[in-house]
Amino acid sequence: MTANLPAAVEDTALLGASDGSEASGSETGAEATATPTPTPSPTGSEEVENAVGAAENIKEAVASENTTIGSVIETLDSYAIEIGQTHISLWSASVVLMVIIGVGFFARVGSKFSHFLLAKLSRFDSTQQLLAEKLATVAVWALAILIGIDLLGIDLTALAVFSGAFGLAIGFGLQKTFGNLIAGIILLMDRSIKPGDVISVTDSSGQESFGQIRKIGIRAISVVTRDRTEYLIPNEVLMINQVVNWSYSSKDVRVKVAVGVSYGTDMELAEKLMLQAAKDTPRVLDRPETRVLMMGFGDSSVDFEIRCWIQDPEEGMGNMRSEVLKRVWKLFQEHDIEIPFPQRDLNFKNNEQFEQLISAITQRVERQGKAD
């Protein structure tokens, strides 16, 4: 019994050591679990993003291929300003300028190409052709602008601070421009006014513009008068003000020429001569027929009106009236028909003061005659 005691003591010691190691291990694990993981401390500056994403991509691509050009780009990129987290540099501005030039060139070439295709592939009349060209131009420019924004990779949220005021300013500034654009499209769609028409427009001040439409643009129409003066009338004016279209449904226009003859004239002969003068004018049409009407009795003449028709009002109205009047004058001269001019007869009643005035004037005249 005494011999077995050391072995028991040894087992007890081993058991205690094992328990102590397990306890130590559990304490170490608890300490490892409770220890927080260290996090990186803030450096005080956040990553700055380039406002034009394409500029950064081009810079990295060029720098990997050519170090000389890359250093030049880095120099341009060093001249920059930072607004919040947005980086705007001279290099970014250069990329934007190049993209704008490219987009403008693409839009112009695309517009001309679309016009060429419409002219070759469609059978529209002149008005429908012009409307299709305008719509194609707007579509090409819109597509070019969207492509430009996508190429630049512009972060539009960087401009959120200015978007409200900028959009409001653009809305007020381009209000008339968009109004004229929509008015031009409406005019072409309803075909009330088209290139080649002869119109007269009266503005708010009462002035009348008369001429032939040369073209309808995005902002205004071009009207050429007989004296070769070209007026640019905003499209919106044609939608608001009254417009006389001399060739809307037909180019036939009736012209009125006023003529007066004296009261002692043979009226039937005068009518025949006026009718002959109108028919002998080259621009006067045979149908509808020319007519001569007696319009009234004036102070010194019997008033007639020659009503004839022409189909080329763009060639002028005044010169046509002048031609008719010249022929009327010639025929009247040949047949001794008088064209009267205003005359006035003065009748004086007996008046004592008037007779005294006449007597005084007579005496003065006699005295001057004796003195001479």
Q: How far apart are CA 303 and CA 159, in angstroms?
A: 74
Q: How far apart are CA 332 and CA 338, in angstroms?
A: 7
Looking only at the bridges linking them, the beta strands covering 198-202 and 208-216 are: antiparallel
For residue 38, pLDDT over 70 is answered with: no
Report the pLDDT value the prediction gives residue 308, as an integer from 0 to 100. Answer: 93
Pick the residue with more confidence: 62 or 175? 175
Mean pLDDT of 171-180: 76
Only one residue has tokens 């529209």, namely 124
CA 172, 178, 184 angle in degrees (round to 5)? 150
Pick the residue with more confidence: 61 or 165? 61
**Per-residue confidence band for 190, with pLDDT thresholds at 50, 70 and 90:** confident
State pLDDT tens for residues 104-126. Answer: 888 888 888 888 887 776 666 66
Q: Residues 281, 325: contact at Cβ < 8 Å? A: no
Domains of the chain: 49-173 (no CATH), 193-245 (2.30.30.60), 253-334 (3.30.70.100)
Report the pLDDT value the prediction gives residue 57, as an integer from 0 to 100. Answer: 67
State pLDDT tens for residues 196-222. Answer: 888 886 656 666 667 888 888 778 888
> pTM for this one?
0.47
Q: How far apart are CA 156 and CA 41, in angstroms?
A: 31
Mean pLDDT of 251-258: 88
For the chain, the farthest-separated pair of C-alpha atoms sits apart, in whole angstroms, at 199
